[in-house]
Amino acid sequence: MEQSESQFAGAKLAQLKADYHVDVLADWGDGEGEWKPGTWTKAELYRLHNQIALMASIMGGSEKFVRHLGGVTVRKADIGSHGGEALSHRVSLSTKGTFSSWTVVHEFAHAWDANHGWRLSRQLEKYTGGYTSRLLSLTKRLVGLSDSGFLNPESKPGRYGRRPGCNRAGYFYGDKPSGSNWSFNRLEDFAESVAMYIGWGRNNDLSDWAEARIKRYLLENLASDKNFGIDNWTDYAKYFYPDGGDYTKTKRWQFVDDLVNGRIGNS
Ligand SMILES: [Zn+2]
């Protein structure tokens, strides 16, 4: 059993390297082919590989994936409270718990953006009609048009800071993202938009979550959603719920579709 797990891990690593130029920093094995239950579990290696393969297939194949991301090293690390982090050519996943398929795609989308000098998220911002202005954001908060406190979000329904510009970055998103919070900015927007595009209506590991992110806005105000908690869902529908509940009608879906089909340059 241990022998076969070690072989499995070795085979997955070789495959990720050969097909996608993805290196996983492993802590199993001692060079003698013996499995040591380390930071990565077998299920996690499956998940990582499956999501990378999914992204690549939607990009049009592994060569495209390699061209877009330019090689990535993945490691498990103590990165505080977030599930993941990414820079160009590197993705870190938290050692604190396991990671979801959504997190893998989200972090690899950041690595894709980073490999292009973070220009893809700027393009998304522009394409969707958004802009970033800390000054306007502060003004909006000052005059009470914000759904947050003045300097921070409040921990209660309708006050988490979800309206355009009501976030730390002063990011006034255009059109309809699938959600927003205090940490939202163009980089997060790009990563979430890629994950939504990959999941939406395709019956893969991301699809249920993508659908849940949209369906929550059909709830009444103060209703409790099993994934997203309690909020003023009805009030937020005008910012986030797409026409007829169809995410393909959003500018974000169109942007990622243009990007993966080569109608927007990203070289
Ligand atoms: Zn992120």
Instruction: For residue 159, report the distance from its CA to the centre of ligand 1, in Å.
Output: 22
CB 94 within 8 A of CB 40: no
Of 74, 63, 59, give the one whose Cα is nearest residue 194.
59
Point out the least confidently predicted range of 28-32, 38-42, 64-68, 195-199.
28-32
Residue 32 has a pLDDT of 58
Residue 78 has a pLDDT of 82
Burial annotation 80-109 (CB, 10 A radius, 16+ → b, else e): eeebbebebebbbbbeeeebbbbbbbbbbb
Tens of pLDDT, residues 161-184: 999 999 999 999 999 999 999 999
Tens of pLDDT, residues 54-77: 999 999 999 999 999 999 999 988
Question: In 3-state terms, what secondary structure has residue 194?
Answer: helix
What is the distance between the alpha carbons of residues 158 and 141, in angstroms, rounded to a whole number? 14
Instruction: For residue 2, report the distance from its CA to the centre of ligand 1, in Å.
Output: 35
Instruction: For residue 106, report the distance from its CA to the centre of ligand 1, in Å.
Output: 6
What is this structure's pTM? 0.94
Q: How confident is the model at residue 2 (pLDDT cuts 50, 70, 90)?
A: low
Instruction: For residue 192, report the distance from its CA to the centre of ligand 1, in Å.
Output: 8
Residue with tokens 């970055």: 169
Residue with tokens 């510009």: 165
pLDDT of 142 strictly over 70: yes
Residue 244 burial by Cβ neighbours in a 10 Å radius (0-12, 13-18, 19+): exposed
Of 208, 209, 217, 201, give the one whose Cα is nearest residue 257.
201
Point out the least confidently predicted range of 8-17, 177-186, 230-239.
8-17
Q: How confident is the model at residue 7 (pLDDT cuts 50, 70, 90)?
A: confident
The rounded percent of the chain whose pLDDT value lies above 70 is 94
Instruction: For residue 187, report the distance from its CA to the centre of ligand 1, in Å.
Output: 7
Instruction: For residue 207, report the distance from its CA to the centre of ligand 1, in Å.
Output: 19
Instruction: For residue 177, report the distance from its CA to the centre of ligand 1, in Å.
Output: 14
Please name the residues in contact with 161: beta carbons below 8 A apart, sequence gap of 6 or more: 146, 147, 148, 153, 167, 180, 181, 182
Residue 123 has a pLDDT of 98
